[in-house]
Structure 1
Amino acid sequence: GGMTGELYKQFAITIAISMALSGLVALTLSPALAAKLLKPGEHGDQRTDFLYRFFFGPFNRGFDYLTQGYAGGVRFIVKRALLGMALFAAMLVATYGLFQQIPTSFVPSEDQGYLYGIGLLPDAASQDRTEQVGQQVSDIFLRTPGVSGVVAVNGYSLLDGQIKTNTNTFFVTLKDFEERKTPATSNNGIMASVMREFASIGEAIVLVFNPPGIPGLGTTGGFEFWIQNRGSGDYKDLEKVTRGFIAKSKDHPELSGLNSTIRTASQQLYVYLDREQANTLGVPVETVFGALQTLFGSAYVSQFNKFSRVWQVIVQAAPEYRSRPDDLKKVYVRSTNGSMVPLEAVVKLENTTAPDLVTRFNGFPAARITGSAASGFSSGQATAAMEALAREVLPEGYSFAWSGETFEQKKSGSASALVFVYGLIMVFLILAAQYEKWSLPFSVMMAVPFGLFGALLTVWLRGMENDVYFQIGLLTLVGLAAKNAILIVEFAVMKHEEGMPVMAAAVEAARLRFRPILMTSLAFILGAIPLVIATGAGANSRHSIGTGIVGGMTAATVLAIFFVPLFFRLFEGRGSKKESVATSEGAETVAIHQDQPVVSELVSEDRRDA
């Protein structure tokens, strides 16, 4: 379920349809095409043919030598079962170690061609001051290589969606990927460059964010962490705990750019209505509130039609009559007896401080902290650091929760493992039905760990992360690794049924299927190379899935093909012994049953003679 389930569903539908079409073409059109193209006598005399003498001939002879060497290696492994199983166990241990070593994440951060910027000024900052800071930030963006344009929205906070005079929001568009081929002009390079220059702006805190890897999972890239107050404390206590948490996070190198928009000391004007005085003067309470809303806010009155459109009528006081608190003294309301009463006669003004936004998460008062993993660390490592810090810093009565990408990452923790296990079970059941045995499919399934080892090793060498796209690639390797093993096991079974011993059948099958295995594997590996070296939008996602399947398929081709014959010998040899024992027991039983009538006949003949 969730976002991870949607990703797996899209992948499964795509692969299922493509494989169904591929199978249809392989079973129908490919034989017809082969019969049309491959005809005897069309390749000329091999002794005089130029291509055969200088290319195909040497290539075939070299491949024959390679096949002989491969058969010798298989024969060496098959004869030394203990050594082979020891190497296999060592590979399993290395695979487990790589699983523990590679950092985890949900989806990789992508260069999507645009960035977000946030400017935070003190609470008392005016709109003019905010616009000046916005101009400075825009100038820094525009002179940065790789930036195409900037749209500044002064007075709007992207993080919490509020309209406030002390915040800026910037939408930064980057140049085309063809013009940004250096690390300095990538999204991460641009963010690092501008953040160094933003440090010189003393009037505001300016932050830059990458958009989320999947649209809709959070406002910005990185993580969204919530501190929840589940006790009896107020919002001032919540802000104090949140600020202390952010200050303590500077001791953790895995974390970067932590910030929160919680403000409990924002200046506010509190209007106190004296209800007894209003009742004495005959002024209804709803009249007072209606006047305040209409003049200092706005009120919808009606609508009218003109120019084939519907226009709304909104009533609001002119700006010069609602710019200062003293403007309330100029407002009059009508009492029940028809007289006009000044509004200041029933209300009192008081300057106070209070939260500018009261947020709740899962029903509890909460403060949101946004941040990201520091350079060189994965989102999984940043998540672990935040949770460890929360358990250390948060006092009693406070808890934490996640939202956005990190919430999906936590929710999908065991889902990928379950999908992988179900994939293995399905392949095993299909093979068991094909071979009509429970033991023989194990010789095919034992090739899957080699694919996992190769995928993990390649990702680790490239310094990448174990994300959901890489896990989808691992699921693909189940079928790809099993495919190579099936080619060997299928022929080994045929050779064994023809009368060859199990060991000789395994070696002969490996030798016969070596060329088809290399051809199909190399075709797949070379076809996936563009994913490994992809650039542009979505490149990191393609790197994750491409690197895993290329590394895994390489290991399944180079390593597993030496061990599959060994597994066939171990599992099929054990099954053959059971079958031979059962056959010998059946033969003895048949002999006994055949002898019994003879004995009875002899006895009856003796009785007749008597």
Structure 2
Amino acid sequence: IIPLPGANYVSISDEFFKRLDQIKKEMPADITLDVSTDQTKFIKRSISEVEETLIISFLLVVLIIYLFFRDFLIAVRPLIDIPVSLVATFFIMYLCGFSINVLTMLGIVLATGLVVDDGIVVTENIYKKLEQGMDKYQAAIEGSKEIFFAVISTSITLAVVFLPVVFLPGFVGRLFREFGIVVASAVLISAFVSLTLTPMLSVKLTRSGHKHSWFYNFTEPFFVGMENGYERLLTLFMKVRGLAWVIIVLSITAAYFIGTTIQQELAPLEDRSQFRLTLSAPEGTSYDFMDMYVDNVTKFVMDSVPEYKTAIANTAGGFGGGSSNSGSVRVNLVDPAYRDRSQQQIVDDVNKSLPRFPEGRVFISQEQTIAVNRRGGQPVQFVIQNNDFEKLKAAIPKMLEAANQSPVLQNVDIDLKFNKPELLVSINRLKATQLGISVQDISQTLQLAYSNLRFGYFTKEGKQYQVIGQVARANRDDPDDLKRLYVRTNSGTLVSIDNVVTVEESATPPSIYHFNRFKSATISASPAPGKTIGDGIAVMRQIAAENLDDTFVTSLSGSSRDFAESSGNTSYAFLLALVLIYLVLAGQFESFIDPLTIMFTVPLAVCGAFISLWMFGLTLNIFSQIGMIMLIGLVTKNGILIVEFANQKREEGLEKVEAVIEASRLRLRPILMTSLAMALGSLPLALSLGDASTSRIPLGVVIVGGVMFSLILTLFVIPSIYTFLSRQRKHEKERNKPDSPVEPHQPKELAL
């Protein structure tokens, strides 16, 4: 059953299984009907795993909020933001026509840590107003009013990050468009909820004459000591604040060198509990021989892979397709929970034993995590092009030899094979004329003997049959059999055709391929164990540079082309996200300098993300790259907290250094709460062990590592950079004039 484009696989599967029992009843008794392969099992398990991750993320976020507020009635207010915001996000998904799939659910998981941020900010500011002695109604109004602009600005900043993702061209945009819209919608909805529902809950859930619990009184000295200790450390760091520039330069340098050493690929290979063996034999191989070859390979797989569930073999392509010298074996494995070896380990073990079959070649392929147009084939596909066919033919052996010798590649193959046997028949026209034999007589004799010519039809017992003429197989299997044919002369005598023709054996390609209008040959290979598609492409480019001259053109095809496209598009999205964030911050702060200070959080986060990927041996792929883009919006929020509040303190009359130290101390708890909520909300992704977890792990590791690494350095680096870049403000200039009276500034607190 092949779904139409845009169809829902899970719905089709559910409907099919509802009808399967009825179909079995209608089948003849001697026919057994069963399901050999069900792709939707993996999809269903993946969605179920993401749903479990969502629950764990929610519980971890609940825990971190309670540990900071240490009061259930206070902590529950931002927690209500999560289900309300997520339900509203599902409504947006419904309006947009999105389905519940792995990527949309992945966006929901990440949104769990994001939507609570605004609720934490508003609740913490209202709580401070209560501590100052305001009644709960006034505290809710004043606290929300004071924080209104900041919440809107930071939410828009974070949502803007996903604009490049939503509008990315190519398959990357199609793949992550739903993901970006889901996360951006959740963030904007959470801002609305935190400014409407959260203040109302603060009024309803705040008890008059409220006293702190024993747990609060027991742990508050720790938090106060943490703030005071941070203030002392920051004061000491300010004495050598020039180190901040050194840290930033080191972070950028480390990110560059570590990033270049990390392996790259399109997406991590998922364990889908299946793989496929593709068999090929020399051109001209009979169907019977190929069928025996396929049976031998199938038996070998069944004997050497105890984890197999079913093995489905096809000869000649199966279902009437393919040539007689091809075949395939699709192996379905038991679920990962019931086997010790992973799919990749099984494939590697089988691959080591494949050379024992000398009849032909066998290639093992695994379904790629992201297969854009289902072209199939091996991951590395390198195309060489040249309009001079002879030069192309001469270059192929050198390219194949170098590729086979490379330790990065395995199962090297090429589509342009000169292996189709041909007999070139040359007619001695002079001798044929002397014997009274025309060229037409010779060609008709060969055609009748070998071309499977249809003479007509005859009917027997109501059925129509074709009349086919050719010599028996026993007399046409050997090239020398052609010499035993006879041709009739004009006089009616028979002359051996060997007297008037010469026969030469040769080999030609079954097809001549073109790529971008050039004659081409595509070299395909699989990465060796421990290598990635990025390593394979790099090696093939190096081999081409060493063996091809300037008349050749090289390109990528299949998964390799998708990989190159995704790398370029995500890099473009990352740079565009940086520009958009800077423009939004410039409009918010009405300054070009303050946003620049905030943007220095980005290299710190990117360095932390690369270090995390390197430490855990993960690759740089499309999921980790999307995580990098998300980091821009996540970590700049911490910079906004410090810079915005420092500006407010300077308006109250504090000097630049004193203002940024005081702002950093007062914003320490909100920074820790929001950062830890995001990190813990993404932690289940980094620790995923179920189906489709291989793709989610890099995304989770990038977010957790980037947020935590940036959190530690931001608390010291950004205040220092602020003292270097922030200019003297207008009221400070007026205050410094000797004859100008200075009007006292009303204290204004901004909690973000």
Range class of TM-score, shorter chain: 0.7 to 0.9
2:622 to 446, 462, 468: 468
Amino acid paired to 2:560: T
1:151 to 312, 324, 346: 312
SS of the residue 2:398 aligns to? helix
- Tell me: CA distance 1:322–1:533, structure 2 relative to 1, closer, same or farther (3 Å): farther
Q: Once the 2 structures are TM-superposed, how far is the Cα of residue 221 of structure 1 from its aligned partner?
A: 4.3
Answer whether contact 2:386 2:392 (CA < 8 A) is retained: yes
Q: Once the 2 structures are TM-superposed, how far is the Cα of residue 314 of structure 1 from its aligned partner?
A: 10
Amino acid paired to 1:152: A
Answer whether contact 1:111 1:536 (CA < 8 A) is retained: no
Q: CA–CA distance in 1 between the matches of 2:218 and 2:242?
A: 38
Q: CA–CA distance in 2 between the matches of 1:398 and 1:157?
A: 37
- Tell me the residue number matched to 1:204: 360
- Tell me: CA distance 1:559–1:125, structure 2 relative to 1, closer, same or farther (3 Å): same
Q: Which structure 2 residues correspond to residues 449-598 of structure 1 after superposition, within 5 A?
A: 449-572=603-726, 574-576=727-729, 580-581=732-733
Q: CA–CA distance in 2 between the matches of 1:39 and 1:314?
A: 94
Q: CA–CA distance in 2 between the matches of 1:544 and 1:60?
A: 36
**Greater CA deviation, 519-528 or 397-406?**
397-406
1:223 to 380, 393, 400: 380
Answer whether contact 1:212 1:218 (CA < 8 A) is retained: no
Q: Deviations over 1:247-268 (max 9, x none)?
A: 2223322222211243323235
Q: CA–CA distance in 2 between the matches of 1:260 and 1:157?
A: 22
Q: CA–CA distance in 2 between the matches of 1:132 and 1:452?
A: 55
SS of the residue 1:107 aligns to? coil
Alignment length (residue pairs) = 535
- Tell me the residue number matched to 1:337: none
SS of the residue 2:218 aligns to? helix
- Gaps in structure 2 of 5+ consecutive residues: 1-168, 458-462, 483-496, 741-752
Q: Once the 2 structures are TM-superposed, how far is the Cα of residue 472 of structure 1 from its aligned partner?
A: 0.9
Q: Deviations over 1:461-517 (max 9, x none)?
A: 112222222111111001100111112222212211111222111111111111111
- Tell me the residue number matched to 1:251: 405
Q: Which structure 2 residues correspond to residues 91-106 of structure 1 after superposition, within 5 A?
A: 91-106=251-266
Amino acid paired to 2:728: G
1:177 aligns with 2:333: no
- Tell me the residue number matched to 1:115: 275
SS of the residue 1:28 aligns to? helix
Q: Deviations over 1:369-403 (max 9, x none)?
A: 21122222232222111011012123564432211
SS of the residue 1:170 aligns to? strand
SS of the residue 1:464 aligns to? coil
- Tell me the residue number matched to 2:416: 262
Q: CA–CA distance in 2 between the matches of 1:292 and 1:200?
A: 37
SS of the residue 1:165 aligns to? coil
Amino acid paired to 1:151: I
Amino acid paired to 2:177: K
Answer whether contact 1:146 1:186 (CA < 8 A) is retained: no
Answer whether contact 1:230 1:365 (CA < 8 A) is retained: yes
**Percent identity at matched positions?**
27
**Greater CA deviation, 547-556 or 137-146?**
137-146
Q: CA–CA distance in 2 between the matches of 1:217 and 1:268?
A: 34
- Tell me the residue number matched to 1:37: 205
Q: Deviations over 1:176-225 (max 9, x none)?
A: 13224x3xx21210111111222222322222111233222531341111
Q: CA–CA distance in 2 between the matches of 1:495 and 1:575?
A: 13
Q: Once the 2 structures are TM-superposed, how far is the Cα of residue 295 of structure 1 from its aligned partner?
A: 3.4
Amino acid paired to 1:80: V
- Tell me the residue number matched to 1:168: 327
1:14 aligns with 2:168: no
Q: Deviations over 1:529-569 (max 9, x none)?
A: 12112234432221221111111011121221222222222
Q: CA–CA distance in 2 between the matches of 1:585 and 1:278?
A: 118
Q: CA–CA distance in 2 between the matches of 1:496 and 1:69?
A: 23
Answer whether contact 1:140 1:194 (CA < 8 A) is retained: no
Q: Which structure 2 residues correspond to residues 339-354 of structure 1 after superposition, within 5 A?
A: 353=506, 354=508
Q: Once the 2 structures are TM-superposed, how far is the Cα of residue 173 of structure 1 from its aligned partner?
A: 1.6
- Tell me: CA distance 1:250–1:65, structure 2 relative to 1, closer, same or farther (3 Å): same
Answer whether contact 1:454 1:556 (CA < 8 A) is retained: yes
1:389 aligns with 2:543: yes
2:518 to 338, 354, 364: 364
Q: Which structure 2 residues correspond to residues 325-336 of structure 1 after superposition, within 5 A?
A: none
Q: Deviations over 1:282-312 (max 9, x none)?
A: 9xx9xx99x978739x99xxxxxxxxxxxxx
- Tell me: CA distance 1:557–1:145, structure 2 relative to 1, closer, same or farther (3 Å): farther
**Greater CA deviation, 545-554 or 112-121?**
112-121
- Tell me the residue number matched to 1:302: none
Amino acid paired to 1:178: A
SS of the residue 1:575 aligns to? coil
SS of the residue 1:245 aligns to? helix
Q: CA–CA distance in 1 between the matches of 2:674 and 2:470?
A: 78
Q: CA–CA distance in 2 between the matches of 1:66 and 1:396?
A: 65
Q: CA–CA distance in 2 between the matches of 1:475 and 1:518?
A: 21
- Tell me: CA distance 1:86–1:579, structure 2 relative to 1, closer, same or farther (3 Å): farther
Q: Once the 2 structures are TM-superposed, how far is the Cα of residue 107 of structure 1 from its aligned partner?
A: 2.4
- Tell me: CA distance 1:444–1:141, structure 2 relative to 1, closer, same or farther (3 Å): same
Q: CA–CA distance in 1 between the matches of 2:230 and 2:597?
A: 19
- Tell me: CA distance 1:41–1:579, structure 2 relative to 1, closer, same or farther (3 Å): closer
1:83 to 213, 232, 243: 243
Q: CA–CA distance in 2 between the matches of 1:126 and 1:293?
A: 16
**Greater CA deviation, 385-394 or 88-97?**
88-97
1:142 aligns with 2:302: yes
Q: CA–CA distance in 2 between the matches of 1:246 and 1:564?
A: 54
- Tell me: CA distance 1:559–1:146, structure 2 relative to 1, closer, same or farther (3 Å): farther
Q: Could you state the TM-score of these two structures normalised by the residue count of structure 1?
A: 0.78
SS of the residue 1:116 aligns to? strand
Q: CA–CA distance in 2 between the matches of 1:584 and 1:507?
A: 22
Larger-Rg structure: 1
Amino acid paired to 2:324: T
- Tell me the residue number matched to 1:404: 558
SS of the residue 2:356 aligns to? coil
Answer whether contact 1:78 1:84 (CA < 8 A) is retained: no
Amino acid paired to 1:399: V
Answer whether contact 1:451 1:477 (CA < 8 A) is retained: yes
Q: Once the 2 structures are TM-superposed, how far is the Cα of residue 20 of structure 1 from its aligned partner?
A: 2.0
SS of the residue 1:519 aligns to? helix
SS of the residue 1:164 aligns to? coil
SS of the residue 1:259 aligns to? strand
Q: CA–CA distance in 2 between the matches of 1:8 and 1:586?
A: 59
Answer whether contact 1:74 1:563 (CA < 8 A) is retained: no
SS of the residue 2:362 aligns to? strand
